[in-house]
Amino acid sequence: MDAETVSKAFVEHYYTTFDANRGSLGSLYQETSMLTFEGQQIQGSQNIVAKLNSLPFQQCKHTITTVDCQPSGPAGGMLVFVSGSLQLAGEQHALKFSQMFHLMPAQNTFYVLNDIFRLNYA
Amino acid sequence: MDAETVSKAFVEHYYTTFDANRGSLGSLYQETSMLTFEGQQIQGSQNIVAKLNSLPFQQCKHTITTVDCQPSGPAGGMLVFVSGSLQLAGEQHALKFSQMFHLMPAQNTFYVLNDIFRLNYA
């Protein structure tokens, strides 16, 4: 699979899983993984899942607008840059967001080494 | 300097230079550098500068809203994620944008290996 196919498959998997059961996203991260969520820095799979589970909403639906990807260097990593919107249950307006992932190869698959999320307040 | 200090200094330098004379940004890129600009992929310092010079506006002013950074792995790279707005001369409303840079160490400084830019249409 080329980089674009991997990126799009990852993005589809990530947001579908997030919207269905975000507590199960932990398997995408490792102990060295980092998440910066609206400026808050979190490290490690367990802490990242705890943060996602603590978000003050239950149901949500991500809609993806753009996915861009680039190889990140000789180690075989891949940068994935996403823009989209996030509809929270019971809210009238969707929130726009941008998010980037740095995927690193590991045993025939990829894990998320870096994850940075920001809402783009309109 | 720690990662956050480097990131903020880079961001300040990049956008100040962009707004003053974007044709001089070429020294921040190398031949392996990639820019994805609104979905268009460009590689190499010269091609990247040609793209920036070809943008259909002369004067502009970037205002930075957020800067997030993370180390990108054992090679000493750094991911910098920026959100902000871009005011074009003669336009009433500023455009919101998100941009990510992957900085790699080189001879006591950093160069931009990866650069992805997207406008966030409100």
Q: Is the complex ipTM higher than 0.90?
A: yes
Which pLDDT band, with edges at 50, 70 and 90, does B68 fall under?
A: very high
Residue B102, strand partner residues: B79, B114
Residue B53 structural domain: 3-119
- Half-sphere exposure at residue A21, Cβ-oriented, CA atoms within 13 angstroms: 3
Q: What is the CATH number of the domain that holds A102?
A: 3.10.450.50
DSSP for B12-49 reads HHHHHHHHHHGGGGGGGEEEEEEEEETTEEEESHHHHH
The yes-or-no verdict on residue A122 having pLDDT over 70 is no
Are B73 and A70 in contact (CB < 8 Å)?
A: no
pLDDT score for A2: 83
Chain A contact for B47 (CB, 8 A cutoff): no
Q: What is the dihedral of CA B15, A97, B37, A29, to 10 degrees?
A: 100
Q: Is B36 exposed, middle or buried (0-12, 13-18, 19+ CB in 10 A)?
A: buried
The domain tally of chain B equals: 1
Q: Which residues of A touch B113 (CB under 8 A)?
A: 72-73
* Cβ of residue A94 closer than 8 Å to a chain B Cβ: no
Whether B68 has its CB under 8 Å from any CB of chain A: the answer is yes
CB of A100 closer than 8 Å to CB of A109: no
Say whether pTM exceeds 0.90. yes
